[in-house]
Amino acid sequence: MSLLWMDGFDHYDGVVGNLALAGYTNASNVSLVTNRARTGSYCLRGGATSTGEIIRPLPSSLQTIGIAGAFWFGSMGTREIFEFIQSDGSLSTPNCTISYDSTGRIRFSRQSYAGPLLGQSAPGVITQNAWNHIEARVVISNTIGACQIRVNGVEVLNTTNVDSLFTGLELCPAVRIALPGSSTGDGYAYLDDLFIWDTSGSQNNNFLGDRKVTTLNLTDNTAVSEWGYTGAASPVQCINGTQDGDTSYIYAGSSVPVTSEFEFANADGTIGLIAGVQTVNVMRKVEAGTVIVQPSLVSGGSATDNGSHSVGDNYAYFNMMHQTNPATGMPWTASALNSARLRLRRTT
């Protein structure tokens, strides 16, 4: 996979409950707010009186995890940022933790932020009342544990051959991202432009650097339009804005395959290198039996083929990563993305 997940928090329409539909197993004491977004319209804010958190399960348990996000800290104190959850099935105990302290240090410790310190940066690498892009590569092991951290693209910590395993297997199934609340003395904390990667594959398998997650909405239908629609004047109007459940939607009957394609809004002209494109769809089925939908991106007559979704009875977000342009096999460029189309095909 390499690039596993990205989130700019713009497509949830400010509704925290939509985080659960997107696969976060916990989203407590957080708000989606517009007053400090780094990219797009929304970012995630910690609670007013206690630490907020989201927990992101990984597609599979990993020994080496890469994670990055842009953080704004209203004031400084010793608090956790990333916790790498242990493998025993509990989401309450981390193997190791990345935190910051009142001097602006980044810290790496076993178990919690108050656990044995395995490494720390010089003071002042975290700036109060400013966006800090923090990217880390962590290895879970009781002998070859490691942590490399970069802040705004500059390495500030590199710790190797330490015991980063608290208990269980040398694997991490999920990451907890913490946003301290004001009752801790830290003021509000904000998060934007989150992404997660692993070391597999040939793309995006190491530090990606300071990246932003930009949301592009659909803008138009195409001549390929086999799905039916209801609740709006055209298919694209049913799916290009706030998800509204059964009020407006497109639908595909059981005589398969059924295919529709849609055009995107153009990417911002300032966008340079594109690590990947993640398609996001909200779907449910209304019939018994198996329903399989394949979302893909069409570019230059070629389509990505990254798998399919088995659709359940309740609405859920389905996310699929497209790391390369299918027409070239190379990373996406802004111009290629601007001419690409979203293809939704029901295959079963």
Q: Give pLDDT, residue 196.
A: 98
Across the strands, what pairs with 43?
33
- Residue 307's pLDDT is 82
Quick one: which of 213, 109, 199, 99 has its CA closest to 159?
A: 109
Q: How confident is the model at residue 340 (pLDDT cuts 50, 70, 90)?
A: very high
Work out the average pLDDT over 309-323: 94
Question: Is 304 a residue whose pLDDT tops 90?
Answer: yes
CA distances from 29 to 14, 240, 277 (A): 14, 29, 29
Tens digits of per-residue pLDDT, 189-247? 999 999 999 999 899 999 999 999 999 999 999 999 999 999 999 999 999 877 899 99
Report whether 63 contacts 173 (CB < 8 A).
no
The pair of three-digit structure tokens given for residue 331, joined into one six-digit string: 């990373």
Whether residue 306 is predicted with pLDDT greater than 80 in this model: the reply is no
The predicted pLDDT at position 89 comes to 64
pLDDT at position 346 is 97
Q: How far, CA to CA in Å, does 332 sit from each of 174, 314, 323, 339?
A: 28, 33, 7, 11
* Residue ranges of domains in the chain, CATH in brackets: 3-197 (2.60.120.200), 218-346 (2.60.120)
The mean pLDDT of 13-27, rounded to a whole number, is: 93
pLDDT score of 75: 80
CA separation for the pair 2, 203 (Å, rounded): 6
pLDDT digits (tens, 9 = 90+) for 139-166: 999 999 999 999 999 999 999 999 999 9
Give 85's pLDDT tier (boundaries 50, 70, 90): very high
Whole-number pLDDT of residue 186 = 56
Residues 257-276 as b or e (16 or more Cβ within 10 Å = b): ebbbbbbbeebeeeeeebbb
What value does the mean pLDDT take over residues 243-264? 94
- Confidence class of residue 183 from pLDDT cuts 50, 70 and 90? low
Cβ atoms of 98 and 106 closer than 8 Å: yes
State what percent of residues in the chain have pLDDT above 90.
85
Ranked by mean pLDDT, the top range of 139-143, 186-190, 306-310 is 139-143
| C-alpha span between 158 and 190 (Å, rounded) | 25
Average pLDDT for 268-273: 81
